[in-house]
Chains A and B, each alone.
Chain A
Amino acid sequence: MSNKLNHSMSLAKPDALDISNKQKVALSAGVIGLFILALALFNTNFPNKALFLTLSLGLIIGGIVVYSREAYLSKLEGIKNDGVWFKSISSRGVWGWIVGVILTTFYIVLYFFPKYLGLGVDGAENTGLISLFDPLSHLLSGRNASQWFVYGTLYTVAILAFGYKFILKYRHNRYQQLRTVSVMFFQLGFAFLIPEFMYVMNNDLPYYDLKSIWPLNYYIFDEWSVNGFLSNGNIGIALLIFGILSIFVFTPILTYKYGKRWYCSWVCGCGGLAETAGDSFRQLSSKKMSAWKLERWLIHTVLVFSIVMTAAMVYSYLGYDKNDFWLTRGVFISLVIGFLTIVFAAVMLFKRHELGKDAKYGAIGFFIVIALLLIMHYTGTTDHLFYIKAGALRSAYGIYIGSIFSGVIGTGFYPILGNRSWCRFGCPMAAILGFQQRMFSKFRITTNGGQCISCGNCSNSCEMGIDVRHYAQKGENIVRSSCVGCGICSAVCPRGVLKLENDTMKGRINPTEILLGNDVDLMDLVNQK
């Protein structure tokens, strides 16, 4: 094991943290399940695919279930973080790197070389791994499996099995349990089953995971997608309207009331995987100030990119003539610019003082977007925008953001960068929700007076890399764009200092220098300044 990366003071690997025999058996079962998938990948032609698929997934799920029960139910309820920085897999040790490389490779093949997984091209039969999943796909929707079906199934299995593990780990914590049941429900129902059933009912409808909201769902307003909706009568129109309402109406209301957690750690599929399968890696996210700086540049750049890209996509298939359809290119660009300007003006008017020097960066970002939209409008032709083919922009976004960032780096690097690197550095939806959470929401993590002892458990377990302690030890509430409200900081706090709650906006952000418990005159003198 790499000593270089293990900065723990442990001189020897504590043997006492070895797993029990029952856990070893469970682990072996899981490995056999994975091995069946590997055999399929290398084109073993199983005689009864349905049986072997069931066996494989059954062994994986059963292995995780038995392992977790042994790990947590044999002990009293409480925080179960013993040895996370000793174990190779959760401390960037050899196992961490091996798992990281395997996951990353899987994502690269999945996104860019699905034929290696056995995808039958041009009507050919599936082979390999994908063909193993054909029976399940036939059962659900009557069609052959695709690489996305395989991925969706494994993804769902991971959220369900590791979700169960997480529920046991936090069996004393009702917030954690409800939240986990919620992500398990949304993954199984909304992301996995409902789209399959929708296909059975109407196979012209585009795949639509109802909980996947633009701009996370970056293709929902693409021409093929919108056409798909429009050509399907009322149900299609209803779905399209639902998609638009989701981002412009439902999201702001829910985020105002509950913070972005209603989505990021209760509903979202990316969040769901991070919170369940990724839970063992949460401590790996960097808490350095430099990482926070990088985060703010990166995520807002992606946001700008995704707004401009979506506007360009919609723009590219709109006409010039308002006799054909009221929404022409001119009207559309005016609507977008008008909307952004209203948001920008409202923030500058009401929240200018909270932003400090960040207001300047916000203004720069805003004017860049407006300038890009105007340039697009005045230089664009029928099929070229920004002097390149409109589709090229969209596929660049799809490859670099949709695939490489969210999948390959976001999930593949779980054991290296922590479980939320996509959510933290790349997700444009998180950027929008986070912006609102910081500016206009009742949500905060309340700090309990002067009770913090600066131990650092909160910061250590923050998957979004927030230095929670920095606020808590000043008696200050935590109001940060990136907080997904997972509540683990509150759970691991040994002194009961942190509480996630929705309360009034007033006094939500409360910087203090002198903490509660000291001389009241001193508190008045210093804190009132």
Chain B
Amino acid sequence: MEHIVIIGNGISGVTLARHIRKLSDKKITIVSAEADYFFSRTALMYVYMGHMKFEHTQPYENWFWKKNRIELKKGYVKQVETETKTLHFAEGDTLQYDKLIIATGSKPNKFGWPGQDLNGVMGMYHKQDLETLEAHAPNNDVCKRAVIVGGGLIGIELAEMLNSRSIPVTFLVREDSFWNGVLPQGESEMINRHIKNHHIDLRLSTNLKAINSDENGNVKSVIIEETGEELECNVVGLTAGVTPNIDFIKDSGIEIGRGVKVNRFLETNIPDVYAIGDCAEQHEAIGNRRPIEAVWYTGRMMGEVLAQTICGNKMEYKPGHWFNSAKFLDIEYQTYGWVFGKNGRPDYEQHFHWKHEDDTKCITVAYDKNTNQFLGINTFGIRMRHEVFDKWLTEKRDMDYVMNHLSEANFEPEFYSRFENEILQAYTNQLQTA
């Protein structure tokens, strides 16, 4: 019986394992050094905030794995020997595979800041990061202030976490507005204000210079690059993006760039070795996507596809229309299709922006200024239907159609106020003045 070994028990690896089990009788082993059972990484924040316990982040009960004959091995792979198809563990034992899938996800970026390895400096990615945070920031007596470096999705989540325990937070963001490489200006500025409304000390256009230590090797303060200001703090969160977590295969002969290089079939340069999820890097980006897609949904999709290939129905990774979501403190964000912020916006892309007067809801609709074709939508504080936008994108609807049919896409709870008329009005006015 063919032995499929998956390194990494995150969403990619687990989705793959589940689908292989549905399609075949192969022997499946999932290896992880991080946790005994699959958990939802995106939910770690809720454990610290007390909304859930760690066990609630596990989507499957513990009996699930045995019932589905998916073996779980806890261990840290330190070396992959592709000639003999052997994994060597840091614990000293080995494991033979017939097919190997690397699904080890990411690790937080560190940019060589002085003091970046002190006690109290941490990322927010692994289960162990949560344990570290719990040790260093259990409350606002132990942690008088935390400084977060890096204005992206994980940074704002970490800020929300610390805020839930009334720990003062200073949030250093390199850009002149929160996440504006990705978000259009109107949205980005609304989130700036929302962050400040939560009494988070947001510092834009601000970089970290160094982290200072006390006599015990603990974080004492940080120095700000621009002003030289010293900020006393007990915790520093490094949330300036993530990198593929692939150090262990450096000497294996598997081709790597920033991530594990894969072709459209998610195959590496070595036969029977594949990579999926955050750690996989496409030789050439697919459409507007990045070569490395460190997103929950894409990890899941790669798992779904690769299961077909491994079970004999060779299939390309050919994702459909882009979508994503996040939550910025109390404001939910969804995106369908492509809406670019500062970075990489094509010339033909034009935006229509509407913001509600309460400053917690807005949408940005992107369209082609030459053809008027609808390209994508960002929606803040208003839930919209994935299915409807997916359909409109496939049908290549134009902007007027989308704006006139926006109510079909509404996914807000019943009895919520609706804004389609107001949005349409704003859109029409803009056309007249333009």
A residues with CB within 8 A of B: 7-12, 14-17, 76-79, 81-87, 172-175, 178, 283, 288-289, 446, 448-451, 453-457, 459-460, 469-470, 473, 487, 490-492, 494-496, 499-501, 513-523, 525-526
Q: How far is the CA of A325 from the CA of B305 in the complex (A)?
A: 71
Asked if A500 contacts B413 (CB within 8 A), the reply is: yes
B119 close to A (CB within 8 Å): no
Interface residues contributed by chain B, number (CB under 8 Å) = 71
Output the least CB separation between B246 and chain A (Å): 23
Output the least CB separation between B336 and chain A (Å): 9
Q: How far is the CA of A516 from the CA of B304 in the complex (A)?
A: 12
Q: Which of A456, A487, A520 has the most CB of B within 10 A?
A: A456
Q: How far is the CA of A181 from the CA of B138 in the complex (A)?
A: 38
A residues less than 8 Å from B318 (CB atoms) = 519, 521-522
A residues less than 8 Å from B321 (CB atoms) = 517
Asked if B164 contacts A82 (CB within 8 A), the reply is: yes
B residues less than 8 Å from A526 (CB atoms) = 304
Asked if A460 contacts B52 (CB within 8 A), the reply is: yes
Are A457 and B52 CB-contacts (below 8 A) given A78-B329, A522-B315? yes
B19 close to A (CB within 8 Å): yes
A residues less than 8 Å from B83 (CB atoms) = none
B90 close to A (CB within 8 Å): no
Are A9 and B387 CB-contacts (below 8 A) given A82-B51, A517-B323, A518-B304? no
- Besides A10-B50, A517-B390, 8 other A-B contacts (C-beta < 8 A): A9-B54, A10-B134, A15-B141, A78-B330, A174-B413, A449-B387, A490-B413, A501-B414
A residues less than 8 Å from B415 (CB atoms) = 174-175, 178
Q: How far is the CA of A487 from the CA of B334 in the complex (A)?
A: 20
B residues less than 8 Å from A469 (CB atoms) = 59
Are A79 and B330 CB-contacts (below 8 A) given A17-B165, A288-B61, A501-B414? yes
A residues less than 8 Å from B166 (CB atoms) = 16-17
Asked if A456 contacts B52 (CB within 8 A), the reply is: yes
B49 and chain A: residue at smallest CB distance: A82
B residues less than 8 Å from A451 (CB atoms) = 297, 323, 325, 334, 386
B320 close to A (CB within 8 Å): yes
Encode B80-102 as 1/0 by CB contact (under 8 A) with A.
00000000000000000000000
B42 and chain A: residue at smallest CB distance: A453
B125 close to A (CB within 8 Å): no
B residues less than 8 Å from A16 (CB atoms) = 139-140, 165-167
Q: How far is the CA of A455 from the CA of B332 in the complex (A)?
A: 15
Within 8 A of A (CB), among B402-431: 411-417
Output the least CB separation between A457 and chain B (Å): 6
B residues less than 8 Å from A76 (CB atoms) = 197-198, 329-330
Asked if B40 contacts A455 (CB within 8 A), the reply is: yes
Are A289 and B61 CB-contacts (below 8 A) given A16-B166, A495-B332, A522-B308? yes
Q: How far is the CA of A514 from the CA of B140 in the complex (A)?
A: 44
Asked if B386 contacts A450 (CB within 8 A), the reply is: yes
B254 close to A (CB within 8 Å): no
B residues less than 8 Å from A9 (CB atoms) = 47-48, 53-54, 130-131, 134
Q: How far is the CA of A457 from the CA of B59 in the complex (A)?
A: 11
Q: How far is the CA of A414 from the CA of B415 in the complex (A)?
A: 30
